[in-house]
Amino acid sequence: LLPLTAAVLSQFHEDGFLALERFFTAAECDGMRERIREVVAEMEVPPHCRTEFSTKEEEQLQAQGSSDYFLTSGDKIRFFFEKGVLDEKGNFLIPKEKSISKIGHALHAHDPVFKQITHSSKVQELGRKLGLERPVVVQSMYIFKVQSIMSLVAVTPHQDATFLHTEPLGRVLGFWIALEDATLENGCLWFIPGSHTSGITRRMVRTSPGTSTCVEFIGSEPTYEDNRFIPVPISKGGLILIHGEVVHKSELNTSGLSRHAFTFHVMEAKDTSWSRENWLQPTPELPFPSLYT
């Protein structure tokens, strides 16, 4: 493991992100990819994806089904698809492993392979070196980032704290694990160094029950100059630490190769409150588990 010297830690605090090459072994990455192949093979298409459009009312019901599926995914393993990959009966128009955009948001709690990675001694040791006293895991996602005819979606510049709000800010940390080499061609992450020090300008909050959308944005995302971003390519097994307020994005995957990643977010729970307005809420079935086991 890369020794987390005072200099390395101070770089993280200065930049708001830190790339640690070869944090996980190739075998650990392959194990996660193999496990996801099994999960996808067993996947059922959710009912709201099978609704045949007819009346406005049914479209609203479908949108409601979709939003409920998202809002209640915090303590489950659920599937989120690229646009245009399913016909109105919910059949795949392209191979299903190429149709999923991500799986979320509780792999860390319900799947033994991802639970083991999330709570691995390496991650716990890193948390302690970062000075985390009571870290809890709030969510996890498996991101496919495949190049597909359907998907030409870049991930626009954003801050994770827009979606995962705490009082005070600065308590959320992302762990982003490259399960394949992440390159300029296949959509590696880009960051604005030092952009984690000015707070956030936009929040995604739950709307009141009965509203047509389940979440809404308050505030707006500023326009960021392209030349402020720097690319952070990383090899398979590398880990990128992401401060909750650092501005980051990823470009289109134009490579013909996928760019699988497993990512999870941790909150320092000591002296911190999790916003009741966040889309993601702990449940009686799954309170946020401690990172330290």
Instruction: Indicate the number of domains in the chain.
Output: 1
Higher pLDDT, 66 or 199: 199
Answer yes or no: is 290 within a domain: no
Ramachandran angles phi, psi of 83, nearest 5°? -70, 140
Answer yes or no: is 292 within a domain: no
How confident is the model over 8-27, as pLDDT tens digits? 999 999 999 999 999 999 99
- Contact call for residues 145 and 261 (beta carbons, < 8 A): yes
What mean pLDDT do residues 64-92 have?
A: 88
Within 8 A by CB and 6+ apart from 186, the residues are 145, 147, 180, 253, 254, 255, 257, 258, 259
Task: Domain of residue 209: give its range.
Answer: 6-274
Residue 15 has, within 13 A of its CA and on its CB side, a CA count of: 21
- Give strand ranges (E) for 93-222: 100-105, 135-143, 155-158, 166-167, 172-178, 189-191, 202-206, 215-219
Task: Give the CA distances from residue 203 to residues 163, 193, 217, in Å, rounded to whole numbers and listed in that order.
Answer: 6, 21, 5
Task: Give the CA distances from residue 248 to residues 167, 192, 222, 230, 242, in Å, rounded to whole numbers and listed in that order.
Answer: 22, 6, 13, 9, 9
Answer yes or no: is 225 within a domain: yes
How confident is the model over 141-167, as pLDDT tens digits? 999 987 655 555 678 999 999 999 999
Question: What does pTM read for this prediction?
Answer: 0.94
Answer yes or no: is 285 within a domain: no
How much is the pLDDT for 149? Answer: 53
What mean pLDDT do residues 221-231 have?
A: 95
Answer yes or no: is 257 within a domain: yes
Give the CATH number, domain containing residue 215: 2.60.120.620
Answer yes or no: is 286 within a domain: no
How confident is residue 55, by pLDDT bands cut at 50, 70 and 90?
A: low
How confident is residue 65, by pLDDT bands cut at 50, 70 and 90?
A: confident
Of 78-82, 200-204, 238-242, 289-293, the poorest mean pLDDT is in 78-82
Mean pLDDT score of the chain:
91
What mean pLDDT do residues 74-98 have?
A: 87
3-state DSSP helix/strand/coil % of the chain, to nearest 5: 25, 25, 50
How confident is residue 53, by pLDDT bands cut at 50, 70 and 90?
A: low
